Structure 1
């Protein structure tokens, strides 16, 4: 069992407090699970109050005993309802609020209105960008966990090569992957921040199962039906077609993102050529990516390379193309930074992001995805495995 050390929680809280002071926000109330875990070490049903100055207060409704066991914070108390939040804060010396920050990017509207009423006349403001900015830079503790992820993740691809077979359904392969990972401790879930976005631990599509879906990714997939319309389907895996496996193992809540292409037989020329363009994008971005380079410049370079190839219309999706080719990752699959044309955020040491140049065609999807750490000298690859097409 892994518990987040108090020294780690203290550092995270201090970073958020510095940003709260800078924005003249009296404090932040955190309830979203990923953020709650990041700052408190537990996801038991709670409100975590982080004041601009002073020690944080974790107010737990369910389950108090587990929260005390899991969290290294000093101040943990039980509360029975939302109505007790303000009196509890006041009893611990927190009052006279002018502004309170909430995770308004994910907070349901009905809760937003309740908090407005509960804390009136304080102004409810959005602290989600501040929270995500703190989480964007990974600590040595987090990097140690992420490197541990790769030690397990790298074992999966040889397992797939040894067990994939012609005539096997995508769902069968997906089930085998899940069994492999679950036995090694994967919780079976991945966290995402977006509204109406579900994400399984792996994305398996083969051949013509590349149809677009509601899922905001380069490769959709039919899924098992309209209710869950993405990813693996009942389609049988055939010869001479790409099998795209987009996967992440999870250790202590943290995951990496990695994609490799498998093939039983031989791929068509346009698919192998497009794959080489993806490799070129990866290599050139690795040369450019240094601290201070805006994230948008990386996407611009990827787009230039794709546009110079015969496959420009298939880059990051077909027929609809995405406006990004990479995303931050850690506790959630869609963290900051975003490698997209709108994002001017400069790279900083400690950022971790997945870069995924992919090309989607009616007869298959090809590409590669690795997760990288930004260091003072450039990028360190965290997902280490053979980057060629995995022929079986």
Structure 2
């Protein structure tokens, strides 16, 4: 296998910085733990640079151990971890770690979301001498603060995302198209610009495929997806993209809320279009759109290092109530969501959400998707979403800076 070369190698310095972040947060989350044991392929990639089936042992000190079921050869090609070993059963982890010079500790932080209940019970039955404590927050906090290496990728993703939705797609849209037809056009645009196709969600059981393409009242159609924008989707069993039976009529909004991913990193953006001249947009729609843009600006200017995430949410919600927009803000009825944005990176729904109760200090290098939206019964959903990088002075959009409605005549 020595003659095979990887497409990309995550730099060793980048991996070491990730390990250091996890080691920074582990004593805060699980002070009794001597290291972290991770199982999901995405977390394995984050800590090793290779998307393989197995586990990673990250001790508080020293070189991690990458345990691999499949593929050992792929891991050896892609990962710069020095301890890469094959395994078949969880009962092999302890002796293999000991042989690698990094024995497992009596108490370990475990990525509990990385195993099903069935596999979790199997793990504890195969390793009864060890105690596992939840360590998922360690990984969430570590991934929330992006390195310059990650930020460079995300800035390019954001630039291409904006190019697709604000520059290329408007030239292809026509009044009377179905949601599904418009979604197919968008897929072509995305792939031409380098979208990798496969987007990831962190929340267990949550799925995503391209995103939402919602014409008219599809924007307020009940959605099982954890977001404010509704959609009919392709079919009840595949409630994604858009319906082939729903058409974009004249004098109606079109909300396109789609993610873009390259090199594993996502940005999120919603662009609102209108079928007709700007003069044909009702005042109710224009006012609601401007309100959402103002809420995005308010949140962005408050996303400063040291500010609590929950405080940003409180300020936006207080302003929405003051301006009389609470009814329909962030969804209608049971579809209203209790957040106005979320972290983003290797998954679309990254940590932390901008919501009540998340009293986490914001740090420079965090990246958030801000998505203030307003549902209007009988019309649809208006609003914006863009991805923002936290700087010392506040947050800066990496998915474009023109947030107005794009009119298609």
Please give the TM-score of this superposition, normalised by the length of structure 1.
0.95
In the other structure, the counterpart of 2:407 is 391
In the other structure, the counterpart of 2:257 is 246
Q: Is 1:90–2:93 an aligned residue pair? A: no
Aligned positions of 1:153-302 closer than 5 A? 153-157=161-165, 158-209=167-218, 210-234=220-244, 235-265=246-276, 266-302=280-316
In structure 2, what is the Cα distance between the partners aligned to 1:245 and 1:318? 18
Q: Does the 8 Å CA contact 2:211/2:240 hold for their aligned counterparts?
A: no
In the other structure, the counterpart of 2:317 is 303
Residues 57-114 of structure 1 deviation map (CA, whole Å, 9 limit, x = unaligned) = 1111111111111112122122233332222112223446321222113421111111
In the other structure, the counterpart of 2:141 is 133
Q: How far 1:224 moved relative to its partner?
A: 2.0
In structure 1, what is the Cα distance between the partners aligned to 2:138 and 2:346? 16
Aligned positions of 1:361-372 closer than 5 A? 361-362=376-377, 363-372=379-388
How many aligned residue pairs are there? 392
In the other structure, the counterpart of 2:32 is 24
In structure 2, what is the Cα distance between the partners aligned to 1:20 and 1:308? 41
SS of structure 1 residue aligned to 2:363: coil
Aligned positions of 1:342-361 closer than 5 A? 342-361=357-376
SS of structure 2 residue aligned to 1:374: strand
SS of structure 2 residue aligned to 1:360: strand
- Runs (4+) of structure 1 moved beyond 4 Å? none
SS of structure 1 residue aligned to 2:300: helix
Stretches of structure 2 that go unaligned for 5 or more consecutive residues are 1-6
Q: Is 1:54–2:68 an aligned residue pair? A: no
Given the superposition, is the C-alpha separation of residues 231 and 185 from structure 1 closer, same or farther in structure 2, using an over 3 Å criterion? closer
In structure 2, what is the Cα distance between the partners aligned to 1:96 and 1:322? 41
Q: How far 1:310 moved relative to its partner?
A: 4.0
Q: Is 1:144–2:152 an aligned residue pair? A: yes
Residues 276-333 of structure 1 deviation map (CA, whole Å, 9 limit, x = unaligned) = 1101112222333321111111111211222233432100000122110000000011
In structure 2, what is the Cα distance between the partners aligned to 1:305 and 1:326? 16
Q: How far 1:41 moved relative to its partner?
A: 0.7
> Bigger CA drift: 304-313 or 63-72?
304-313
In structure 2, what is the Cα distance between the partners aligned to 1:197 and 1:261? 24
What's the Cα RMSD here? 1.6
In the other structure, the counterpart of 2:4 is none
Residues 23-51 of structure 1 deviation map (CA, whole Å, 9 limit, x = unaligned) = 22122121212211111111111211111
Given the superposition, is the C-alpha separation of residues 73 and 298 from structure 1 closer, same or farther in structure 2, using an over 3 Å criterion? same
In structure 2, what is the Cα distance between the partners aligned to 1:343 and 1:183? 38
Given the superposition, is the C-alpha separation of residues 105 and 82 from structure 1 closer, same or farther in structure 2, using an over 3 Å criterion? closer
In the other structure, the counterpart of 1:8 is 14
In structure 2, what is the Cα distance between the partners aligned to 1:231 and 1:43? 27
SS of structure 2 residue aligned to 1:327: strand
Given the superposition, is the C-alpha separation of residues 94 and 119 from structure 1 closer, same or farther in structure 2, using an over 3 Å criterion? farther
In structure 1, what is the Cα distance between the partners aligned to 2:304 and 2:80? 35
> Bigger CA drift: 268-277 or 75-84?
75-84
In structure 2, what is the Cα distance between the partners aligned to 1:52 and 1:114? 25
In structure 2, what is the Cα distance between the partners aligned to 1:279 and 1:382? 16
Please give the TM-score of this superposition, normalised by the length of structure 2.
0.92
Stretches of structure 1 that go unaligned for 5 or more consecutive residues are none
In structure 2, what is the Cα distance between the partners aligned to 1:106 and 1:228? 25
Q: How far 1:373 moved relative to its partner?
A: 1.2
